[in-house]
Amino acid sequence: MSAKPSIASSAFSRRGFLGFAAAAASAPLLAACGGGSATQGGGGGAGGTVKFWDMPWATPAYNDAAKKIVEGFSGANSSKASYQLIQWNNFYQTFSSAVASKTGPAVSTGGGFQAFQFEQQGQIAYADKVVDELKKNGQFDDFLPGVLEPFKTDKGYVAVPWQLDIRPLWYRKSLFEKAGVDVPKDWATLLEAGKAMKNIGAVGFATGSGAGNNIGNHLMIMMMLNNGGGVFTTDGQLDVMNDRNVEAVEFLLELVSNGVIDPAAVSYTTDNLNAQWKDKKAAYGMLTLGVPERVGDTSGDIVVASPIAGPHGDKAALIFPNNIMMYTNTPSQEASEAFLVYYLGQIKELWRQKLMNALPVFKSITELPEFKQDPNNVKIVKEYQPIGKTFAAQGNTLSADLAVLDGGQALNQLTQTILTGKTDAKSALQAFESGLRSTIKK
Amino acid sequence: MTSTTTQSGLARARRGLAPGGPGGGGSPSTTNRKSRLSAQTTRTFFWLLIPSVVLLVLIHGYPLVYAGVQATHDGNLIQTGNFVGADNFATVLSSPAFWKAAQFTLWFTIVGVFGSWLVGLGLALLLRTKIPAGGTFKVLLLLPWVVPIVVSSTAWNWLVATPDSLIPSLFRNLGLGTPLFLADPTLAALMVMVFKVWVSFPFMMMMISAALASVDTTVYEAASMDGATRFQQFSQITLPLIARSTYISWILMTIFCVNDFPTIYLLTGGGPVDATTSLVVLAYRTVFQDFATGPGVAIAFLMTLTLVVVSVLLYRQIRKSSVE
């Protein structure tokens, strides 16, 4: 009996195999140490060009308009600016790699707490001179109340805000009419309305915390803030186990146990959540600005609800003051500052063209006819912005720690534990606090 | 004597060696020529090897060394920080999250490797028989492997994510309740594994098909004439003859499963409540979400070490199978 070999063995040596196996096995190392990341662009603005990196904050039309603004810059000594779009996927890795290799931007937008992360590492150029210039040209007084202060540290302004990413509550009018209930005004009516929604097959408090979806995480913090709680004390110390937080989590668990929150929400991606709103399943819930546009609903049936009150009468909304930061690696600090002042003076155009899914930081932009045409925007500015609190609440000083809170595992774990309903409030919060303590450096 | 010669010939045939060829001792003239060639060309070989060595050092050596530095320091992606020795490893090894992820990785790998192998083997055997449009069928079976993972994970999400998705609706219509495939920790873990098998079986099928293609069909005819049943033919002929291919595919699939980030991350993000968090997902989250570079890289190091050990053990099996 003869048989042919399955694979020619002569080409398969032990050393060759081990080399191959080691190479393949080292993939996680390469991934984890960031070895595979590509840096962007060339030197730090060689030739007097200020490199500006921007994120895809809205549709591609936004990026085209922002690029046009950037390319219109002409500073002293013939300094110019270039525009580079950076994708959100692994953005922190992209920025870190570039900053470490001195190929990063001179000025950029980015993650909400990115400026503080890079400040910790000595890579941020303080914006005090920019703020001085804004005082001179009148833009300083144009800022909405409370949006600039969180960026002031002992050493100076870490960044300058340019838009507010806020989390308002939305509802679908027709579902409330169908269920015969009023739009919630407080937690008690939210529970009752949610039960009525369940009876008509709708979702009373839509959310999600599946792959890549952070709305559920933001909801947890929003409900704590809405009850007068928060993750930090006024002086920035961790304060997870306070009574208000416990009460908020107990209420969320009650919503879960009554089916007001969809039992599958824990796995909902952003697409799943958008589909719920589009398919008229979601009756009420917290989301970003521009929900009708986001889900493609032009019926006018989805509108902003007023903020609800917690059981003690507190009201609050979660707000992220997105900002523009300057880096120490620049062809000219003066050029960076001039560019930033110029750019802040031009961003009005982005709202005028209706390209933004965020609130402006300048009062004058909220008064633009193009902005005021949308009653949802007006309502958000009027009712939500004044009660906006950041992740730093109960304090109001932003820091690098908030990046860990925002994107870290501890908050996601808390959210998913609550949404599955298999916990009690204190256990969930204790695990959350423990997770935060192990990752936040104090 | 005759028997010894025959066995030797069989063993050589299994290793794919021609009588008297390299590896079989060779004739004196062959050996002498080899020695002469080696003497004349050693220096040339050395110089020719240099570009490859430099590339290997740059591509693999530098990141490995740098990862080693990060794993033993308390810094971040930009600054290395202070030397902390094995503290990061101690932190990782004392973390329940690490062991939970290790346990999931183990199950994910076992199901991924053997599930895809079984499906691949079954289909490879099926494709060996003459079926109408066999070529087209084979191409269609390759689709899960060919389609970008982001597309297939999105498609699977559509199929199972919400109570109104196709498969939960089907269960409901059959009176089997409405399973929440991605929201229930156990079902989500199962779903990720099933998805991995679905994505991977074409690779196994191709490996096994290639191995089966080299098996002489007369072997089966002879066995059949000797009265061997189908099962005996499968267990006594087919499996041994594809053993080396099987071990190699197991090694590769083990590495693919342990290192698999997108399959898990795109479908469940590691949730719900870490039910599908594997070691590579945990390493990613630790470095890029908790910004704890040292512990994250330490996890990756431990994974690499485990993979090398598993690979070496399986490689020994390959050697054994070639000796037999």
DSSP B64-95: HHHHHHHHTB---SS----B-TTHHHHHHHT-
DSSP B257-309: HHT--HHHHHHTTT-STTTT--HHHHHHHHHHTS--HHHHHHHHHHHHHHHHH
Cis peptide before B272 (omega within 30 of 0): yes
Residue type, B319: R
Instruction: Note the pLDDT of residue B324.
Output: 53
- What crossing angle do the helices spanning B62-71 and B293-323 adopt, rounded to 10°? 130
Instruction: Note the pLDDT of residue B30.
Output: 52
Instruction: Note the pLDDT of residue A339.
Output: 97
Average of pLDDT values for A65-89? 93
B271:A210 CB<8 A: yes
Average of pLDDT values for A120-144? 95
A5:B14 CB<8 A: yes
Q: Which of A12, A18, A29 to mutate to test the interface with B (most CBs of B within 10 A)?
A: A29
Given the structure tokens 């991934």, which residue do they identify? A31
Whole-angstrom Cα distance, residue B144 to residue A185?
49
Nearest to A393 by CA among A225, A249, A159: A225
Considering the entire predicted model, what is its pTM?
Answer: 0.83
Instruction: Note the pLDDT of residue A372.
Output: 92
Instruction: Note the pLDDT of residue B119.
Output: 96
Residue A187 contacts by C-beta under 8 Å, 6 or more apart in sequence?
A251, A308, A309, A310, A311
B283:A21 CB<8 A: no
CA distance A382 to chain B (A): 34
Average of pLDDT values for A214-237? 95
Residues of B in contact with A439 (CB under 8 A): 290-292
Residue pairs spanning A and B at CB distance below 8 A: 237
Name the residue with higher pLDDT: B262 or A9.
Answer: B262
Whole-angstrom Cα distance, residue A93 to residue A102?
14
DSSP A222-289: HHHHHTT--SB-TTS-B-TT-HHHHHHHHHHHHHHHTTSS-TTGGG--HHHHHHHHHTT-B-EEE--S
Q: What is the DSSP letter of B50?
A: H
Structure tokens belonging to residue A308: 């609800």
Structure tokens belonging to residue A305: 């609800």
Q: What is the DSSP letter of A298?
A: -
Res. B16: pLDDT tops 50: no
pLDDT tens-digit map of A182-202: 999 999 999 999 999 999 999
Instruction: Note the pLDDT of residue B63.
Output: 85
The shortest CB-CB distance from B22 to any of A10, A24, A33 is to: A10
CA distance A175 to chain B (A): 18
Rg of chain A over Cα atoms, rounded to whole angstroms, equals 24
Pairing of strands A388-389, A317-327: parallel
- Predicted confidence band at A441 (pLDDT cuts at 50, 70, 90)? low
CA torsion through residues B168, B170, B173, B177, sign = negative
User: In terms of DSSP H, where are the helices of A155-214?
Assistant: 173-179, 187-199
Whole-angstrom Cα distance, residue A284 to residue A194?
8
Average of pLDDT values for A121-147? 95
Conformational region of residue A88, where left means phi above 0, alpha means psi within -120 to 50, and beta covers everything else:
alpha
CA distance B94 to chain A (A): 13
Nearest to B116 by CA among B140, B145, B138: B145
Where does residue A299 rank: exposed (0-12), middle (13-18), buried (19+ CB within 10 A)?
A: exposed
Whole-Å CA distances, B182 to A281, A390, B97, B105, B277 = 19, 31, 20, 18, 13
The ipTM, to two decimals, is: 0.80
B180:A267 CB<8 A: yes
B255:A269 CB<8 A: no
Nearest to B241 by CA among B221, B206, B214, B218: B214
B315:A7 CB<8 A: no
B269:A121 CB<8 A: no
Whole-Å CA distances, A144 to A138, A316, A344, A373 = 13, 17, 14, 19
Q: Which residue of B has its CA nearest to A410?
A: B290
Instruction: Note the pLDDT of residue B37.
Output: 62
pLDDT tens-digit map of B23-62: 444 445 555 555 556 667 788 888 888 999 999 888 888 8
Nearest to B291 by CA among A390, A95, A401, A119: A401
- Predicted confidence band at B322 (pLDDT cuts at 50, 70, 90)? low
User: In terms of DSSP H, where are the helices of A36-172?
Assistant: 60-71, 91-100, 114-120, 128-137, 139-142
Secondary element (H or E) of residue B208: helix B185-213
Pairing of strands A156-157, A160-166: unpaired
Q: Which of these ranges, A113-122, A152-161, A396-405, has the smallest mean pLDDT?
A: A396-405
Q: Which residue of B has its CA nearest to A268?
A: B161
Whole-Å CA distances, B235 to A7, A246, B220 = 19, 61, 12
Residues of B in contact with A100 (CB under 8 A): 77-78
Q: Which of B304, B306, B314, B318 to mutate to test the interface with A (most CBs of A within 10 A)?
A: B304
Q: For residues A125 and A326, is the Cβ–Cβ distance under 8 A?
A: yes
Whole-angstrom Cα distance, residue A404 to residue A232?
13
CA distance B20 to chain A (A): 14
pLDDT tens-digit map of B103-152: 999 999 999 999 999 999 999 999 888 778 777 888 889 999 999 999 99
Given the structure tokens 């750019």, which residue do they identify? A343
Instruction: Note the pLDDT of residue B47.
Output: 86
Q: Which of B12, B57, B77 to mutate to test the interface with A (most CBs of A within 10 A)?
A: B77
Adjacent-strand bridge partners of A319: A166
Instruction: Note the pLDDT of residue A351.
Output: 95
The shortest CB-CB distance from A34 to any of B77, B97, B222 is to: B77
Instruction: Note the pLDDT of residue A32.
Output: 46
Phi, psi of A160, deg, nearest 5? -125, 130
Residue type, A23: A
Residues of A in contact with B300 (CB under 8 A): 28-29, 31-33
Mean predicted lDDT score pLDDT of chain A: 88
- Predicted confidence band at A242 (pLDDT cuts at 50, 70, 90)? very high
Q: Which residue of A has its CA nearest to B291?
A: A404
Residues of A in contact with B243 (CB under 8 A): 6
Res. A6: pLDDT tops 50: no
pLDDT tens-digit map of B77-112: 778 889 999 999 999 999 999 999 999 999 999 999
Instruction: Note the pLDDT of residue A33.
Output: 44
A92:B299 CB<8 A: no
The shortest CB-CB distance from A33 to any of B255, B297, B303 is to: B297
pLDDT tens-digit map of B249-297: 999 999 999 999 999 999 999 989 999 999 999 999 999 888 889 999 9
pLDDT tens-digit map of B161-180: 999 899 999 999 999 999 99
Nearest to A317 by CA among A377, A386, A415, A243: A386
Res. A62: pLDDT tops 90: yes
Res. A2: pLDDT tops 60: no
Q: For residues A89 and B284, is the Cβ–Cβ distance under 8 A?
A: no
